[in-house]
């Protein structure tokens, strides 16, 4: 069980109807905190309905069980509803209205389980003019203002983000926060809740500093419009002698002063937020950073209270001493792909040093174990399997 990783949510039963995206990220986090997550996947005959993610993604199913059900068959739907009757949480990511038409929506489950917390994740929410739109991470970052306030490409367009910020933070973590809040409320009321998690809403929350500034003052946020989007030289990235990059975030005057002294740029200490001086400061910083290789600067400035850190590549960070010291990585083993490393349960709370886990093939199903724990008799499980309702 996932409870072997962390006891925080041990005993919590989660049914996850998703395959990829924010909902899958949410169940990944819940599993790392000890919840018993059961991934409800389509049977092989219906397999084209969902995307099959790469074997390594979402921690390769660490601590998650898989059950294949034909949800379009009457018997398959009955199986799901019986499981939902004893579950604590259902997570789904179909288009708005789909689960209700399938007969497995919130109202259907509520009739059997008033304690259920039913979390629907979607791009734009269950209601509203965009509720039926298809979309992905980039679209949600676009409507929520994130792209507009980001850096610019050579042609003037917004730069593509280097991570799926909307799926992970605005969607997955958003869903987990809502689920945990609903669980707390259920302790007081005895009743569950329906959660309409819109990824675009989550992006709006991530952008609230910029949005609230505009609403309160009328100042329109733009790229390089304030300190956090590159208005000042103290918050930017600079190339080193070897072509590698450094991030500089010396916001506080004391850190900026430390940086200026280390770069032999003391003349600019009193000009940190002087708009007329910014290009001169940037040019002075550019020239200074080109005197040494990136790691030489990191060794000097990292511990020197100057708010400087390396811009790490993925091959660099997987062996980074800081992450290694914090047991950020663990191991997995696939029957065909062999042994490989992966990001471990790095969010605060779960035990980080976990045993290597065996990765189940995407075609497998743990129907016998899952269904027997849910109260199905062995003969009933055999009959459901023979009918094709489950695999």
- Which structure tokens are listed for 33? 């905190």
Name every residue whose Cβ is closer than 8 Å to that of residue 379 and which is 6 or more positions away in sequence: none
* Active-site residue identified among 16, 32, 167, 236: 167
| CB-based burial, 101-133: b 16+ in 10 Å, e otherwise | ebebbbebbbeebebbbbbbbbbbbbeeeebee
Name every residue whose Cβ is closer than 8 Å to that of residue 215 and which is 6 or more positions away in sequence: none
Q: Quickly tell me which residue has 């991570």 as its tokens.
A: 163
Establish whether 334 is a catalytic residue.
Answer: no
Q: How far apart are CA 355 and CA 352, in angstroms?
A: 10
Q: How far apart are the first and last CA of the chain?
A: 20
Helices (H), the chain: 21-32, 74-86, 98-102, 106-110, 137-143, 165, 174-189, 199-206, 208-217, 253-262, 278-289, 294-301, 314-317, 321-325, 367-373, 378-387
Strands lying side by side in the sheet with 308-310? 235-239, 245-249, 308-310
What are the C-alpha distances in Å from 189 to residues 182, 183, 192, 245, 268? 10, 10, 8, 53, 59
Establish whether 264 is a catalytic residue.
Answer: no
**Which active-site residues does the annotation give?**
136, 167
């Amino acid at each position: 069980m996932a409870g072997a990783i962390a006891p925080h949510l041990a005993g919590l039963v989660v049914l996850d109807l998703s395959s990829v995206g924010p909902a899958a990220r949410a169940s990944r986090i819940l599993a790392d905190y000890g919840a018993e997550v059961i991934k409800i996947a389509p049977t092989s005959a219906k397999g084209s309905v969902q995307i099959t993610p790469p074997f390594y993604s979402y921690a390769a199913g660490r601590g998650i069980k898989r059950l294949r059900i034909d949800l379009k068959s009457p018997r398959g739907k009955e199986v799901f509803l019986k499981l939902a009757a004893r579950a604590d949480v259902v997570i789904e990511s179909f288009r708005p209205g789909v689960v209700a038409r399938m007969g497995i929506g919130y109202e259907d489950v509520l009739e059997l389980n008033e304690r259920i917390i039913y979390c629907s994740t979607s791009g734009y929410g269950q209601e509203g003019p965009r509720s039926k739109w298809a979309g992905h991470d980039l679209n949600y970052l676009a409507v929520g203002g994130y792209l507009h306030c980001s850096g610019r490409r050579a042609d003037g367009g917004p730069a593509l983000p280097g991570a799926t910020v909307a799926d992970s933070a605005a969607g997955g973590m958003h869903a987990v926060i809502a689920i945990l809040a609903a669980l707390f409320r259920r302790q007081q009321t005895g009743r569950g809740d329906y959660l309409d998690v819109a990824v675009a809403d989550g992006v709006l929350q991530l952008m609230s500093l910029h949005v609230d500034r505009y609403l309160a003052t009328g100042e329109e946020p733009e790229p390089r419009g304030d300190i956090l989007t590159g208005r000042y030289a103290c918050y930017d990235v600079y190339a080193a002698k070897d072509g590698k990059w450094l991030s500089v975030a010396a916001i506080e005057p004391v850190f900026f002063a430390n940086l200026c002294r280390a770069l032999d740029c003391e003349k600019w200490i009193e000009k940190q937020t002087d708009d007329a001086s910014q290009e001169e400061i940037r040019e002075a910083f550019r020239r200074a950073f080109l005197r040494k290789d990136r790691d030489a600067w990191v060794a000097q400035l990292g511990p020197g209270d100057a708010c400087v850190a390396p811009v790490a590549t993925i091959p660099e960070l997987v062996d980074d001493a800081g992450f290694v010291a914090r047991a950020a990585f663990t191991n997995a083993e696939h029957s065909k792909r062999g042994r490989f490393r992966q990001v471990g349960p790095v969010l605060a709370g779960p035990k980080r040093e976990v045993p290597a886990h065996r990765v189940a093939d995407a075609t497998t199903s743990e129907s016998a174990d899952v269904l027997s724990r849910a109260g199905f008799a062995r003969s009933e499980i055999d009959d459901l399997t023979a009918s094709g309702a489950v695999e």
